[in-house]
Structure 1
Amino acid sequence: MKRKYILPLFLVFQIVFLKFLVYFPEFVEKWYSNGLYVYISKISRTLLGKIPFSVGDLIYTIAILYAIYWLIMNRKTGWKNISLNVLSCISVLYFAFHFLWAFNYYRVPLFEKMQISREYTDEDLLDFTKKLIVKTNQIQLKITNDKTKKVTNPYTQNQVFEMTQNGYNHLAKQHPFFGYSIPSQKKSLLSLPLTYMGFGGYLNPFTNEAQVNDKLPMYGFPNVVCHEMAHQIGFGSESECNFIGFLAGIKNDDLYFQYSAYANALRYCLGSIAAKDEKLFEQLKLKVHPGIIENYRESEAFWKQYDTFIDKAFHAFYDQYLKSNQQEDGIDSYSKFVDLLINYDKTKAAF
């Protein structure tokens, strides 16, 4: 067999292998997520965590520029050779992607790991949302002393990065598998492209850096950081990371972190109710402090100014990406953490 076919065939083998791996979540949980990955992630964050800029973003930028250069320089070598070289490159990256982080997509779901029910009733959703409204109102009022004022986070983004550890430390005392060490949170060098794509942040699977969009409204910034850190400790599901990020936020001693988490969860719960009963949504909305609504409007106004065909295209792409990686609801899986919240609260009393 010619050597140029080896890596493309290895790509096919990897795809087939993953089709089988989905049936062995306990194996992945034990040997990868709680085994090999623990060492990989700590080594990555130890090597790169203290570097003040995003190494992963720099690598991506160089790689994209080099790919364009390579295609231009090799455009006359024939489509067969170009295709084989591209497939070989994809094969290597696909292997690195899974080996360094993405096997976590195949671990035991958090529902099973924490023995949380998957189902909830409309009444459960309503009761939990009312509870969230009361709690979010309380914190908003504590911070502003005025129901009508939006919350303005006084911290710098670097201060937020440092303060997130507090919440994870408290959370790990209750659930040790959420323990986080060796910080590596970065402001993304690609924040403007991320904004146009409609993303608040992402985990770089090759460098294990938590990349956060530095253009985000600051009231929600802590919640995004907590979410990306959840990816770093080995959770691939977006709904699970929303859930873990929420817990890390409300466990934080700082009120601004708590507000960021509660306000985000409340927005999702209200959205779930609005999708089922618009009239009930309007009634509940009247109970939410105007200052909280102003924060929501601030966020909506921010994203609206970058609303183009680009974010729609990337969301469509990301939707398919999630579906191909064990998240059958695609982009809607972000909102599925409401399931986890409600059922966790019923059994563990989240707050």
Structure 2
Amino acid sequence: MKTAAFPLNAWYAAAYDVEVKHSLLPRTICKQKLVMFRKSDGQVAVLEDACWHRLLPLSMGRLEGDEVVCGYHGLVYNAAGRCTHMPSQETLNPSACVRSYPAVEKHRFVWVWPGDPAKADPALIPDMHWNDDAEWAGDGKLITVKCDYRLVVDNLMDLTHETFVHGSSIGNRAVAESPFVATHGDRTATVTRWMEGVEPPPFWASQIDHARGYRGPVDRWQIIRFEAPCTVTIDVGVAEAGSGAVPPGGNAGDPTQGDRSRGVNGFVLNTITPETDGTCHYFWAFARNYCLGEQRLTHLLREGVATIFREDELVLEAQQQAIDERPDHIFYNLNIDAGSMWARRLIDKMIAKETPPGRTVVPIRQVA
């Protein structure tokens, strides 16, 4: 028997904080249907989206104060999932409750723990502080992509595809041709790529011109950090060639930050939440540490990055369709797959800890 292709004992982004209001918001997380709402004190509550009585989704009901009223027979549930009222009777069945989920707001996201609530340690929430740090400005969006969430992780861990998928914006030959180094820890994997004295792609050429008034060759960096099971933060940017932004010997993979004062620096923030075995919620944001007061630039960058990620979405969904049509196809890894291979191993390690004897992890593909 096979089990799910994702661990449950982990924090997953369920919504941007602005999405959750004093109203019922349904969303499927790790194949579990949830309903979220913000209470009168501002705290977020997350419940199973199914009434105890006849399983109608609670999201089809309404909020009365801080309680959810089922839209079928009027059973009322508090934020902890306990039924507080039943129609036409004073005695409440003691088993009348729905599951509540641990939820924490951090870094502009609402994080939900779909596994064992006793293990829901907020300290395990991935670090995405750039998303609400006063020294950074940015914004992002949510995309629901019709693919296995691990394909998005693969895409982010190997940026070679920028050369071919995003050639009109962030990609050029330097990305595909520059050396990189992949390292890993117990919960993380990192891919570091330094590019010295290269021509900037259109996106970065416009950013360094706008912020620094510089035109010419640049030193460029990409430091990709994966944290299991599905968060990827990417330290990116360009600086005047030879300015010291790329540390000496940086092409050996040293992730030490150099002098970036004559450049522009961004962080691409990504956290991917499985919805089903073949769909996922992709939360992303782009944060920058230059021209912080320019709201117009924040808007332009968000929409520009959205266009870039739309290109990824089309590729990922086409890839998933091809995988579904060829379930026995064997894939072979290249050197550029080193980062995604480590990420997959860390994900598999988390799943294995939750897998009962006799069950196996659902593979996304066979890899030779």
| Same fold flag (TM > 0.5) | no
Which has more strand, going by share of residues?
2
Taking structure 2 as the reference length, the TM-score comes to: 0.23
Taking structure 1 as the reference length, the TM-score comes to: 0.24
Question: More relative contact order in 1 or in 2 (CA 8 Å, sep 6+)?
Answer: 1
Which has more helix, going by share of residues?
1
